[in-house]
Copies of this chain bind each other. A is one copy, B any other.
């Protein structure tokens, strides 16, 4: 498969009711890659500072992740984020954000990445996402994530992007904000009208909704008692979804549905432990076992 992800690389400090971690490896590109690598090799594009630990780069490389696209800025510092979750973990407060080298990140794809057929543009400004798209020669399926900040401040650029990509991933509140509606089903359908042939609306602990043509697929989250840290769940979801699609090499209705279920499964692993601890330890057998359990759950 030829799958490339462009996104953030970070050191996260996270506090949840179940404990905390300091300066743990994180960022959208990291969670995405660690979920996608179960399905094949992943090409990563990101930026770090001089403080990025060599063992973290080795950790990624050992896991079938191509880091040729990892840019190291001399004298720079890696993006840092810290946050604290509410008791039920449905809300979180950002305690500090230091974008550092990520602030002026201008992603450059290594020459050998430019033939990638599957492309994931993790959350970033629509302008930056568009600049990546221009560097890929002949993509088969491009999916992007976004967030409320870009909907509020760069809606025009975001709409331009939506007209040029195949799939988009938003959470429920972002989908409502973008379409100015109160119903997520109406929102999902309205986003299809903006260009993408696939729209995924993430609902956190309530699962996700997939829209393609007239079809709507609502999938619940995998039920778990042990939710220790929700950080990275959405990016892991995207990683497994794109990884599964890229491995199959087809992007049709049945493939999307199965890929979505793989996304649900990956997110469920990620939240079971702090940071990337659990998702990085998952192998294909573990994914397959939980996928089958999940599939059986929904049969009646």
What is A's interface to B at a CB cutoff of 8 Å? 17, 87-89, 182-183, 185-186, 189, 203, 206-207, 209, 216-225, 227, 254, 257-258, 260-261, 295, 297-300
B225 and A258 contact, CB distance less than 8 A: no
* Whole-angstrom CA separation of A185 from B206 in the bound complex: 12
- Cα A87 to Cα B254 in complex, Å, equals 35
List, in ascending order, chain B residues with CB within 8 A of A182's CB: 17, 87-89
In the complex, the answer to whether B203 meets A206 with C-beta atoms within 8 Å is: yes
27 A-B pairs with C-beta separation under 8 A: A17-B182, A87-B182, A89-B182, A183-B227, A185-B223, A186-B225, A189-B225, A206-B206, A206-B207, A206-B220, A207-B218, A207-B220, A217-B298, A217-B300, A218-B220, A218-B221, A218-B223, A218-B297, A219-B220, A219-B298, A220-B220, A257-B300, A258-B300, A261-B300, A295-B300, A298-B298, A298-B299
Cα distance, A220 to B208, chains bound together (Å): 9
Q: How far is the CB of A87 from chain B (nearest CB, A)?
A: 5
Q: Which residue of B224, B254, B261, B299 is within 8 Å of A185 (Cβ)?
A: B224
A223 interface neighbour in B88, B206, B209, B225, Cβ under 8 Å: B209
Residue with the highest number of chain B CB atoms closer than 10 Å, among A185, A257, A261: A185
Top 3 nearest A-B pairs (CB, nearest first) are A218-B220, A206-B206, A298-B298
Nearest CB in chain B to that of A257: its residue: B300
A86: nearest chain-B partner, CB-CB: B182
A216, A227, A298, A299: which has the most chain B beta carbons within 10 Å?
A298
- Which of A89, A207, A220, A261 has the most chain B CB within a 10 Å cutoff? A220
Minimum C-beta distance from A173 to chain B (A):
10
Nearest B residue (CB) for A221: B218
Residue of B nearest to A17 (CB): B182
- Cross-chain contact B89 with A225 (CB below 8 angstroms): no
Output the nearest chain B residue to A298 by Cβ-Cβ distance.
B298
A297 close to B221 (CB less than 8 A): no
The chain B residue with its CB closest to the CB of A295 is: B300
CA distance A298 to B297 in the complex (A): 10
Query: A53 to chain B: closest CB distance in Å?
Result: 34
- Most B C-beta atoms less than 10 A away, residue of A206, A254, A258: A206
Q: What B residues does A221 contact at CB under 8 A?
A: 218
Cβ of A157 to closest chain B Cβ, rounded Å = 28
